[in-house]
Structure 1
Amino acid sequence: MKKWAVAVSAALLLLSGCSDKEKANGPGPKEPVKEVEDVVQEDVNKELPYHYPLTGVGSETATNSRAVAVMVNNHPKARPQSGLNKADIVYELLAEGDVTRFLAVFQSEKPENIGPVRSARDYYVELAKGLDALFIAHGYSEEARKMLENGYVDNLNGMVYDGTLFKRSSDRQAPHNSYITYDNVLKGASDKKYAMDQSPPAFKFLSENESKTVTGEEAKSVMVSYSSGSTFDSIYEFDASIGKYKRYSDGVETVDYVTKEPILLDNLFIIETTHVVINDVGHKEIDLKSGGSGYLLQMGKVMEVEWKNDNGLIVPIKNGEVVPFVQGKTWVNVIPTNPGLQSSVSFNVK
């Protein structure tokens, strides 16, 4: 018992000595918590190795898939459409009369279903060519038919694949009911032996920090009008809480037909160019090569710009230099020089 008591006393003295030493010299070394936090922060800010060419958004994996450009119907009987919320960039141009159609370009995201798909016009084919995209349409004008049948662009057309690659929806009546799935796009490309692993040419983008310092006049919303009526009026409203634009067509928000997900945009690019009616049907010739005036809206601000065709890409220009887009999705409205930007576009700064 005495030996046990002596051992306990010695242990207590040793602990007491360690405690006194710690008080005198301060606590011993701890785990380098700060260094761990620094490493975590480094990972957060690390530049991703790849970027999608049509959105500028970073990716951990390679982004070298081919773009797919689809003619999408914008008739009121075709609304709401399917897949537009997944498009990297959408071009809106007039077809016949005051009716617009969309060329929706997909690369970073692949929607399950796209449509209603509508017929081609030559100027939409030109836009797809500039992006080296696989072109998807259902039908064509005579000018577009010649281009497609001569292999001007790789393409799949519902006139050939109606009921196979293209399916008719029972929810709507023709010609507003043709759809194609992304799986069928890839199946058709495989059957035609079209290469699908080459990236489209890249647009120029701001970094995320640069996007926070975008300059221009305040413009919280803008309306683009294609006619005296409101059926094809497009209104874009900037939502500061998410830093993106919402789109409305004839007063109704543009959402996906199935998921109800809204169109959310980071860039609005509005340009004017010459439109000439070339036949009794109302088919048009639209000049997408000569350049002209435009507006670029980003982060709730608008900047007057020029536009030019840069090897097939329609890009904004300021003082002779390309103006970068904010990273994300873009919508391009092409309007006739007559009546022009001043008459067709109106802004609300509030």
Structure 2
Amino acid sequence: MATVGMGHRARTRRAATAVALLAATAAASLAAGCTGGRGSDDGRGQLRTPAESRSEGEAESPGESPSESAAAGSVLAVKIDNARAARPHTGLNSADIVYAEQVEGGMSRLMAVYATKPPKAVGPVRSARESDLELLRQFDRPTLAFSGAQGKLMPLINEAPLVVQTPGKVSGAYYRGTDKPSPHNLYLRPDRLLSAAPGADALTTGFRYGAAPSGGQKETSRTVRFPAARFTFTWSADRDRWLVSMDGTPTVTTDGKRVAPATVVVQYVNVRKSGFQDFLGNNTPYTETVGEGTAEVLRGGRAYDVNWSRPKATEGTEFTTSDGTPVNFAKGQVWVVFAKAS
């Protein structure tokens, strides 16, 4: 089993912003505008808005209709909780792309992107991060569904070229499930945000699909490690897919199906400190997805060493062999794990 280690390199992008603990008397006013200002991403506590606290079937405040709230033809990106208490996930197998990124304390979070077959429900939904804004610029005004964000970050999110959809913006879009404790039980109904699936043309990622490249090395299992998280992809010849395990446990969805992408990309990127932190003082890592570097593409039971390039945030990421030949992915779900470049 091959293992990819992840280290730490700091480079300040903007002046650091200290986030103070909120007194109980201030909680209500903060919750009205941001669900993630105090919350820790490993389930150690998070303020919730009244809309988030409602159970399934209870209406939020009146909001926009799907056609008004989402840009026509745009993808839906959902921030998904990946703490152990949040598993199993709902609707993850329906995603066209799943991005795995590092968050506070070396833990992980997922971003699922839907274009061709949005499920009936997705979750658990959790808060956004600054680096999500750079990653999402490759899409044409995408819809970002998330539970909230750190208070100082929300203005940046609101100014970004995307459709912001937090609980309470669209009537009945979010609900609290009964299968897990809060804050790991917030779910989204995609059809309340999208009037129709935008289709594969909305996936302006730069990814190519087709015949496998020549060469590569036989690979049966690949593990990528974050400081406090672990992803393992095991090749299944019977299913012609990579079976996902997280933190040593097979990854299944709430319907009992194993998560099994057709292609896995281990993309080596700069992971640095941002100007934000959680309420415990843990800095929020910033994952840089614009630039260039190396990557490994796993498909068909083989691993290919490739180069990646994304010159501008508004462009997708191209993957090429050493001689510049574009690398095709296998048709089906793609997982991209952002690993720390050495």
Same fold (TM > 0.5)? yes
* Aligned 1:145-184 pairs, distance under 5 A: 145-158=154-167, 160-161=168-169, 164-184=172-192
Partner of 1:269: 265
* Aligned 1:18-167 pairs, distance under 5 A: 65-132=73-140, 133-142=142-151, 144-158=153-167, 160-161=168-169, 164-167=172-175
1:264–1:121 distance in 2 versus 1, CA, 3 Å: same
Partner of 1:43: none
Partner of 1:326: 330
Whole-angstrom distance in 1 between the partners of 2:253 and 2:191 = 19
Partner of 1:309: 310
Whole-angstrom distance in 2 between the partners of 1:131 and 1:84 = 20
Partner of 2:225: 225
Q: Is the 8 A contact 1:81 1:255 kept in 2?
A: yes
Higher relative contact order (CA 8 A, sep 6+): 2
1:5-24 C-alpha deviation (Å, 9 max, x unpaired): xxxxxxxxxxxxxxxxxxxx
Whole-angstrom distance in 2 between the partners of 1:108 and 1:274 = 30
Whole-angstrom distance in 2 between the partners of 1:261 and 1:285 = 32
Whole-angstrom distance in 2 between the partners of 1:276 and 1:242 = 37
Q: Is the 8 A contact 1:122 1:141 kept in 2?
A: no
Partner of 2:301: 300
Whole-angstrom distance in 2 between the partners of 1:290 and 1:308 = 6
1:151–1:273 distance in 2 versus 1, CA, 3 Å: closer
User: Mean alpha-carbon deviation: is it higher for 100-109 or for 309-318?
Assistant: 309-318
What TM-score does the superposition give when structure 1 sets the normalisation length?
0.68
1:205 paired to 2:208: yes
Percent identity, please: 23
Partner of 2:340: 336
1:157–1:270 distance in 2 versus 1, CA, 3 Å: same
1:23-58 C-alpha deviation (Å, 9 max, x unpaired): xxxxxxxxxxxxxxxxxxxxxxxxxxxxxxxxxxxx
Q: Is the 8 A contact 2:266 2:339 kept in 1?
A: yes
- 1:286 Cα shift? 2.1
Q: Is the 8 A contact 2:75 2:202 kept in 1?
A: yes
1:226–1:162 distance in 2 versus 1, CA, 3 Å: farther
Whole-angstrom distance in 2 between the partners of 1:281 and 1:163 = 34
1:265-286 C-alpha deviation (Å, 9 max, x unpaired): 1111001222222354311222
* Matched residue count: 261
Whole-angstrom distance in 1 between the partners of 2:237 and 2:79 = 31
- 1:215 Cα shift? 2.9
Partner of 2:282: 281
Whole-angstrom distance in 1 between the partners of 2:190 and 2:75 = 12
Letter in 2 for 1:109: K
Whole-angstrom distance in 2 between the partners of 1:148 and 1:277 = 18
Q: Secondary structure at the match of 2:193?
A: helix
1:202–1:121 distance in 2 versus 1, CA, 3 Å: closer
Partner of 1:236: 233
Where in structure 2 are there 5+ consecutive unaligned residues? 1-71
Q: Is the 8 A contact 2:82 2:108 kept in 1?
A: yes
Where in structure 1 are there 5+ consecutive unaligned residues? 1-63, 190-194, 341-350
Partner of 1:13: none
What TM-score does the superposition give when structure 2 sets the normalisation length?
0.70
- 1:124 Cα shift? 1.6
1:292–1:100 distance in 2 versus 1, CA, 3 Å: same
Q: Secondary structure at the match of 1:332?
A: strand
Whole-angstrom distance in 1 between the partners of 2:248 and 2:205 = 33
- 1:301 Cα shift? 0.7
Whole-angstrom distance in 1 between the partners of 2:147 and 2:283 = 19
1:102–1:87 distance in 2 versus 1, CA, 3 Å: same
Whole-angstrom distance in 1 between the partners of 2:219 and 2:97 = 21
1:185 paired to 2:182: no
Whole-angstrom distance in 2 between the partners of 1:329 and 1:165 = 25
User: RMSD across aligned C-alpha pairs, in angstroms?
Assistant: 2.5
Letter in 1 for 2:121: N
Which protein is bigger by CA-based radius of gyration? 1
Q: Is the 8 A contact 2:93 2:259 kept in 1?
A: yes
